[in-house]
Every structure is written in C-alpha cells, then in structure tokens.
Amino acid sequence: DGGITQSPKYLFRKEGQNVTLSCEQNLNHDAMYWYRQDPGQGLRLIYYSQIVNDFQKGDIAEGYSVSREKKESFPLTVTSAQKNPTAFYLCASSIGVETQYFGPGTRLLVL
Amino acid sequence: DQQVKQNSPSLSVQEGRISILNCDYTNSMFDYFLWYKKYPAEGPTFLISISSIKDKNEDGRFTVFLNKSAKHLSLHIVPSQPGDSAVYFCAALPTGANSKLTFGKGITLSVRP
C-alpha cells in the first residue's frame, strides 16, 4: 500500500528538549513538505524539499530543522528555540508542485 | 497578509441540499487551485482542483467554479451528505517551478441529517 506515514501520533516535549517527528513515504515522490496547523488556522509551511539533500525554509521555519538524506524520508526536528511548539504537524509529498498528499499528522504537546 | 481567504468559518446545511463553500484570493499570480477535506486528527485529503484556464471542474457530487476576474472560487457539493461534515481548505498555487501552496484557514461544514 502506497502512502505517507507519520510517527508518533502523539508526542510530548519537555521544556528545553528537542524532538523529532518522522515522515516516510513510499509514493516515490520527489517533493516533501512540513506544515503546522493551529486551531482555527490554515496550514502554514515550515520547510519543504524538492529533491534529496536539498530543502528550503517555508513561512515559519524558525525553531525547526529538517534533513532529506533519503527520498522517502523527511524528518522534522522541533528545537528548544521553538517557543510555541504545541500544534498538529502534517507532512505531505507530491510528484510536482501541484497536488500534495498528506500523512495522518502528529500532535505535539508540551509538558 | 492573507492571500487566500475563506471568510466564513463555518457552514451548516441540511442533508440532500447544496453546500457552497467560498474562497477568495488576492494574488493574481495564482493559477491553480485545490480543495482539501480534513477530518479531525487526520491529514487533509485532496478533493478537487481547477486550473485557471478553466472556469468549472466537476467530479461526482463536487464541482469547483473559478471566477478569475473576481478572484473567487467556490466548491459546490450536491447533494450534501452527513459524511461530508469536515473542514474544507482552499489552496492556491502560483506559476513557477518553485512555487508553494498557500492555504486558507478552512471552513467547517456540518451536514445535518
């Protein structure tokens, strides 16, 4: 079954801690994206990668980091510099720049 | 500065009736538009899209209309079903190889049985 998987479903972060959210896809898509959704808000782009070993900042990249060492994987690290990390994080992938396919999401909560 | 606006945060319709979800945009460089549907605690799923060279695209119960001069698009769902109750996001893509999707804030649709 082709698709995008995100893990974990729920993640708890302590103050000052870095946490990493996993995103894997087996759709053979070149492009991958990370979005953040807050209540009553749309999806805001954190980082995106159009090809392996290359990525660009989105609209709200501060406090986050990513890597793209493999085509199928695009992990997102929420660093201690992100002062308001509580949100629903969504990973997506696409062949071109048009239709994006989303994973099930990870909800990050701060203890 | 919101480039994609979904000004009505919610909509409630009776089952079997038409649902009309509206979306406005300000960037004249947008030339491809998509609608996504999202259930709580799940990722959005692609619903339907339209290119700026068209003014209508239909897929089953879902039709998207685009009015370029008014920078307005709408999603029509006919007939509405309780399973359509979800948040609907409008998204827009400008021309260019490195373009990124811009999402609206979403509209919560409730279909009453």
Which pLDDT belongs to residue A63?
95
The chain-wide mean pLDDT, for chain B, equals 93
| Residue of A51, A60, A98, A101 to mutate for B, most B C-beta atoms under 10 A | A98
Task: Give the start-end residues of each E strand in B39-101.
Answer: 45-51, 56-59, 62-67, 72-77, 86-94
What pLDDT is recorded for position B98?
63
Asked whether the beta carbons of B74 and B64 are under 8 A apart, the reply is yes
| Predicted confidence (pLDDT) at residue B85 exceeds the cutoff of 70 | yes
Which residues are CB-neighbours of B30 under 8 A, at least 6 positions away?
B3, B4, B52, B92, B93, B94, B102
Per the CB < 8 A criterion, the answer to whether B33 and B92 are in contact is yes
- Would you state the pLDDT for residue B97? 62
Mean pLDDT of A25-41: 92
Tell how strand B56-59 and strand B62-67 pair up. antiparallel
Q: Which of A6, A48, A91 sits opposite B100 (nearest CB)?
A: A48
Which chain A residues have a beta carbon less than 8 Å from that of B106?
Answer: 42
Measured in residues, chain A has a length of: 111
Residue-level pLDDT at A96: 74
Confidence of residue B113 (pLDDT cuts 50, 70, 90): very high
* Residue B87 identity (one-letter amino acid): V
Express each pLDDT in B5-30 by its tens digit: 999 899 999 999 999 999 999 999 99
Is the Cβ pair A100, B46 closer than 8 Å?
A: yes
Reported as a single tens digit per residue, the pLDDT across A44-70 is 999 999 999 999 999 999 999 999 999
**Which has more confidence, A51 or A39?**
A51
Share of chain B above pLDDT 90, in %: 85
Sequence-ordered strand ranges (E) for A14-97? 19-25, 31-37, 43-51, 54-57, 64-66, 76-78, 87-94
pLDDT tens-digit readout, A67-99: 999 999 999 999 988 889 999 999 999 987 678
Average of per-residue pLDDT across A28-45: 91
Residue A44: the pLDDT is 93
What distance in Å separates residue B17's CA from the closest CA in chain A? 26
pLDDT tens digits along B66-75: 999 999 999 9
